[in-house]
Structure 1
């Protein structure tokens, strides 16, 4: 038995790095951590705080006629870990907005990925995965302010239950191919935002952990 264990140990240790690379943590809120996340303010300030919900720490967002987000700069190789995973829920939704217009460009919850253009800021691209208030689930449209450089994708809509966790899993590389017609192999940042500045409304949401995975 001892010889068998001695033979197995190097094999098991060799597997650990590969297994670790299969998952890349981005938002480890359940560990009560906001390490690496930085605020970005557009108008006013959405309040973000870690709080306990159903026995685990989550990121709570409360927005009142404000638009600010949290972003984390981290390069992700989509050839290795193309899947973005997270969970979220909305407590107070937004409704009745024309989300394709500047006046209605507000969302109770959104998670987005960003590809920076370096010095050429106009080459920056983003996919916004949004919890829509009026657009139907699955709809895609260009952002009212950024145009086709930032594409919106409604993962949830007004039919989604409130105060109920929803799990998401997106192949980001495939989404970039579909929405931009380009094979993007790395992204540079992930962001979260609950915003209500254009409509002067109110919204609240919770975000669970965020991570990239190989499959």
Structure 2
């Protein structure tokens, strides 16, 4: 992943994999999101960023700029840059990236995700206030489910579509095992895991409304919001109160949102998946 000097560069690595040491002369870019992504059925932590480089390939995102919470994909141009502040972040060193691009669907511009034994997340820093605008609305569509996926099993923990929210919180209140994992990640990678991660997922094994624990940590909860053959190939309009869902899943009130985004991943099953995401918006509670 490359960017111009001063932009954030984040690469996420599996905690079960070695963490490469920073090369001599590596420089830290400007402000960056100091948080790990807990996804894909494994505990993930960010590695130290590499020096920014100039790439001959076209830019994959617009220059960083203050933006309203959410994502207005419909305001973009098919084949053009992604909305400002959104970055395609690898979830592990050496993992193939999921491809995210703007395309036309029924005369509207939407985000298309193409995964082939790949896993990367399109993420944005946490510029949303759940106290004022906890109601999340979005729409998504998948081409087909991932036949072998099962979010409760580590080796099968993939999903054709997800939204991801990472939260800050008081880590001293966590159980000893969770605090040890956070300390280990910080020791190995120099970064801390988020206090908690909440995901909305498409599942073909668990009923809608289910809350699934990540197979490796209780600090990641997945709420099934879509599933079944009836929704395949159709745009589904969804709305959730993120603050209420967090409280239901973790039995406490949410802290500040550190980052949020979306993820289409097939790295565990080795399958292919195609999904489309419409605009992501936040508003007052309904």
Q: TM-score range by the shorter chain?
A: 0.7 to 0.9
Corresponding residue number in structure 1 for 2:202? 131
> 1:64 and 2:116 equivalent?
yes
Partner of residue 267, structure 2 = 197
Identify the structure with the greater strand proportion: 1
In structure 2, distance between residues paired with 1:87 and 1:30? 12
1:92 corresponds, among 141, 144, 162, to 144
Quote how far apart the aligned CAs of 1:56 are. 0.6
Task: Tell me the residue number matched to 1:169.
Answer: 239
The SS at the match of 1:72 is strand
> Deviation at 1:84?
1.0
Q: For 1:96 and 1:171, how far apart are their aligned partners in 2?
A: 30
Deviation of residue 28 (structure 1)? 0.7
**Deviation, structure 1 residue 111:** 0.5
Which residue matches 2:222?
A: 152
Higher helix share: 1
Secondary structure at the residue paired with 1:44? coil
Instruction: Give the unaligned 5+ runs of structure 2.
Output: 1-67, 77-81, 172-181, 183-191
1:34: Cα distance to partner?
1.7
1:171-190, aligned counterparts within 5 Å?
171-190=241-260
Cα distance in 2, alignment partners of residues 90 and 35 from structure 1: 25
Q: Secondary structure at the match of 2:277?
A: strand
Alignment partner of 2:279: what SS? Answer: strand
What secondary structure is seen at the aligned counterpart in 1 of 2:220?
strand
Runs of 4+ residues over 4 Å off in structure 1? 117-120
Instruction: Assess if the C-alpha contact under 8 Å between 1:86 and 1:210 holds in 2.
Output: yes
- Distance in 1 (CA, whole Å) between partners of 2:162 and 2:119 is 12
Is 1:132–1:157's contact at 8 Å kept on the other side of the alignment?
yes
Partner SS state of residue 111, structure 1: strand
1:67 Cα deviation after fit: 0.5
Mapping for residues 2-151 of structure 1, pairs under 5 Å: 24-32=68-76, 33-42=82-91, 43-116=95-168, 121-145=192-216, 147-151=217-221
How far 1:180 moved relative to its partner?
0.6
User: Quick one: distance in 2 between partners of 1:38 and 1:192?
Assistant: 10
Normalised by the length of structure 1, the TM-score is 0.83
2-structure distance, mates of 1:62, 1:171: 28
